[in-house]
Amino acid sequence: MMDTTAGLVGIAVLFVLLALRIPVAFAMFMVGFFGIWALNGLNAATSLLASEAFTFGSSPELLVIPLFILMGNVASITGMSRQLYDAAYAVIGSVKGGLASATVIGCGGFAALSGSSVASALTMGKVALGEMERYKYDPRLSTGVVAAGGTLGILIPPSTGFVIYAILTEQSIGRLFLAGVFPGLLLVSLFVLAVTVLCYLRPEYGPAGPKTSMNEKLVAVSKAGPIVAVIVLTIGGIYGGLFSPVEAAAVGAGAVILIGFAMRSLPLVALWTAAKESVVTTATVMLILIAAHMINPFLALSHIPTLVGGFMDGLDLSATGVLLVILLIYIILGCFLEGFAMLVLTLPIFFPIIVAEGIDPIWFGVLVVLALEMGLISPPVGLNVFIVKSIAPKVSLGQIFSGVALFWFMMLVTLVILVMVPQISLFLPTTMFG
């Protein structure tokens, strides 16, 4: 009982530290270290602190993180992300709401390069918001579509969320990447459908953009061809068994750098800037993951996962019922917690329950990452909403949150569909790995 009490106190302290804006990694380090000290002695805590950073940090599979982040940063600096938007803009920009739909498609394409929701929102916001303002789009739609479209970076592979989930649960990164492809395409389709229906019912929200000739369409699409080829090469290479996820990340990063040099859009100064930004982002992710390996043993020693598992068993729910309860908890927590912190804090508790219920861990990973995606636009935290606010200062937070509501509902619809039809997530990893 003393161990459980210590665990509950530790979790409460963690929430307080996060509320005080202490960085996620440092908050988890402190709670994990002092919690293990309290339950297992100072020697155990210092030994774990000394060994975990090296043991975990030397894992070769972690190379996928900096390489995919570098690929996204280079694509952003060289203007490749702009080419994706321009291609979608040229094809569908002339219909009602076409610029907003092009933004969604551009966000989806950039997500397949960066794996980062923040990078997707920032990059596409800078590209698309000015155009939508010029054609007098309602600011609720223009900012809402950028904030929501940016979240695709956490679902469409290569997703940093999938990498962290895979590492924390010892699942295959390649399987998770493939499992995210069809759900990501489904969500993009539902976002575009939502924009189309809204602008059909309320034309003033998204007026038609300029018409483009067939020649202009072909030119815009051809300019986006090289970067689309990189996306197909990396994801297709994993599916075809040509590359491991780490090899695919290296091929993708190398390819965008070579394309940048060939197009004369990547001077050495820009490459150096992209590399520095990639190092900073990677260090942040790595600190969170290493901190997770400090707090997870503390939670295990406190028997919190066992206690929660016993409580769920006592509810006498079916496996689907257990899954729905856990997803509801994730949706609620997403209103208050940053996504990575939520993964680290909850997976040691919920994952053993999922395994015991016989729920496919790859399918569960997709559902969890989608729930985290919803948290990125859920009030009051809604990280992507604040990102968009920083690049659209004239639009109030209330308007942006109003604008994302429709897209949040589309995410919920997608979550329900994926729960009802698991094969949408499992088809590609099943056909690849048998």
Two tokens, residue 88: 């979608």
CB 37 within 8 A of CB 295: no
| Span 260-283, average pLDDT | 87
User: Does 380 sit behind a cis peptide bond, omega within 30 degrees of 0 on the bond before it?
Assistant: yes
Domain boundary assignment for the chain: 61-433
Distances (CA, A) of 305 to 3, 223, 348: 12, 52, 7
pLDDT at 434: 52
pLDDT above 70 for 1: no
Centroid of chain to Cα 236: 20
The per-residue pLDDT for range 122-175, each reduced to its tens digit, is 777 877 888 788 888 999 999 999 999 888 888 888 888 888 899 889 898 889
Distances (CA, A) of 139 to 109, 385, 422: 23, 13, 36
pLDDT above 80 for 248: yes
* Helix intervals (H) in 334-382: 339-356, 361-375
- pLDDT: is 421 or 279 the higher one? 421
CA distance 77 to 280: 16
User: Can you say whether the dihedral through the CA atoms of 274, 170, 374, 87 is positive or negative?
Assistant: positive
pLDDT at 424: 96
Two tokens, residue 26: 């440092």
Q: What percent of the chain has pLDDT over 70?
A: 98
Distances (CA, A) of 223 to 73, 81, 86, 89, 150: 19, 11, 9, 13, 22
Choice among 61-65, 100-104, 202-206 with the minimum mean pLDDT: 61-65
- pLDDT: is 247 or 281 the higher one? 247
Contacting residues for 101 by C-beta, under 8 A, at least 6 apart: 88, 92, 95, 192, 195, 196
CA distance 124 to 138: 17
pLDDT at 186: 95
Provide the residue count of the chain: 434
CB 316 within 8 A of CB 343: no
CA distance 411 to 416: 9
pLDDT at 410: 95
The per-residue pLDDT for range 80-90, each reduced to its tens digit, is 777 877 888 88
The SS3 of residue 109 is: helix
